[in-house]
Amino acid sequence: MIALDSYSILWADLVALKRRWPRYLITTLISPVLYLVAFGWGLGRGINLNGTSYLEFVVPGIIALTAMTTSFNGAGTRLNVDRLFYKSFDECLMAPIKLHSLLLGKALIGVVRGIISSVAFLVVAMLIAPTIHVGPMFLLGLFITCLTFSFLGVLAALLAKSHEDMGTFASIVLLPMTFLGGTFFSLSQVPVGLKYALYLLPLTHASLWLRAAALNQSLPWASLLVLLVFFVAFMGSALIAVRKMSI
């Protein structure tokens, strides 16, 4: 029943995505490809990290970054527009479905968009770095990453009072994670105090997990657990926020 209700909410967003998916795919690939060229080929050429080329090191981090931004924007921006511009989210609140099913349906479009964008970039990256390993653990981490940041987007959209609030949230929260979440550098290179602070960022743990899985290294299970904790926290907070709206 939960799956059916959530799919009913997701269906409308899937129809909208189907109509313009080529344009969406091209748009979302621009930033990660530019990061790959600038950091992987440009600044990182000739650099090795623990026996791994910098290009192989940075690709999983860019995938984590792509999953974060596209999942957050895919779920959050869509819900923000529906809630504040079209006012259609109020109709969803009146529908005879559970609130958690409603939130899951709104979050899943972010997951879909995040996975599509990440896989598309992965295909491009594997033409350059074919040693990247994509297995079940990599896909599991990618899915949890997309789900976590989709619910963060849903939470931000529920709390936003205007469209500008979403941009402010992205600048304050997502932008620092983009460059400090272990995406482009190894945490072993930063001071101990800063390292502990960076471990408080969900993107750090997404990067660590995807990088370990992609390079066939020992998997940091603690990072996967932390990602799940963030997922539960974002989902629970979003549920509290939507319950206050529906009272």
When pLDDT is cut at 50, 70 and 90, the band that residue 8 belongs to is confident
Do you know the residue count of the chain?
A: 247
C-alpha to C-alpha distance for 2 and 4, rounded to whole angstroms:
5
> What average pLDDT does range 32-39 have in this prediction?
88
CA distances from 62 to 105, 153, 193 (A): 26, 19, 24
206-220 pLDDT, tens per residue?
A: 999 999 999 999 999
166: how many CB neighbours lie within 10 A of its CB? 22
Reported as a pLDDT band with limits 50, 70 and 90, residue 39 is confident
Say how many domains are in the chain: 1
In this predicted model, what pLDDT tens digit does every residue of 120-146 receive, in sequence order? 999 988 888 778 889 999 999 999 999
As a whole number of angstroms, the distance between CA 167 and CA 171 comes to 6
* Phi, psi dihedrals of residue 133, rounded to the nearest 5°: -100, 125
Residue 184 has pLDDT above 70, yes or no: yes
The model's pTM is 0.93
- CB contact set of 200 (below 8 Å; sequence gap of 6+): none
> Residue 61's domain spans which residues?
2-246
pLDDT at 33 over 70: yes
Average pLDDT of the residues of the chain: 90
